[in-house]
Amino acid sequence: MASFTKNATKRTPFGKNAYLRSTQDVKYESYTLAASTVPTITIDTNAGKTIQPGTVMAKCTSGAESGKIGPFQTGATDGRQTVANIVGVLDTFLPWQLDNRDVEVAVAYEATVVGAWLFEAASATAYQAAQTATKAALATGGGANCAILVR
């Protein structure tokens, strides 16, 4: 008879992030997310390109990924660092797909969100909570068609 041994190793909590204050009157637009713009993070010794809903997204306006979007990042040099290029907040959860290719995603451009539950890229290997200036940019319109109410 085989016995069952439980693995007692603690794991990093992982799953889809909730960011909406309300699901009423949310409007989405479809974009192509450039895999090269997404930080490679390590979760339980597994490195990969993972992105959560609630990540502030901006257009790439220069370089090889021009016309696509990626996470807003202050230190970026491809247009994602510019507040006027913010298109909204990511709604799609991608736990591994970006390891292989660019992916079509849904971005909320009109919504009421919880500011404390938003993210932005901090570097090529990390995310951080959306900074006060980023949340203020969303609240004042971000890009031309972005109308995010931050609570």
Which residues form the domain of 61? Answer: 27-150
Establish if 52 belongs to a structural domain. Answer: yes
Tell me the per-residue pLDDT of 113-133, one tens digit each, with 9 for 90 and over: 999 999 999 999 999 999 999
Tokens, residue 9: 């190793």
Handedness of CA 111, 21, 89, 103 (dihedral sign): negative
Q: pLDDT category, 150, cuts 50, 70, 90?
A: confident
Domain count, the chain: 1
Tell me the per-residue pLDDT of 71-119, one tens digit each, with 9 for 90 and over: 999 999 999 999 999 999 999 999 999 999 999 999 999 999 999 999 9
Q: What is the value of pTM for the model shown?
A: 0.89
> What pLDDT was estimated at residue 142?
64
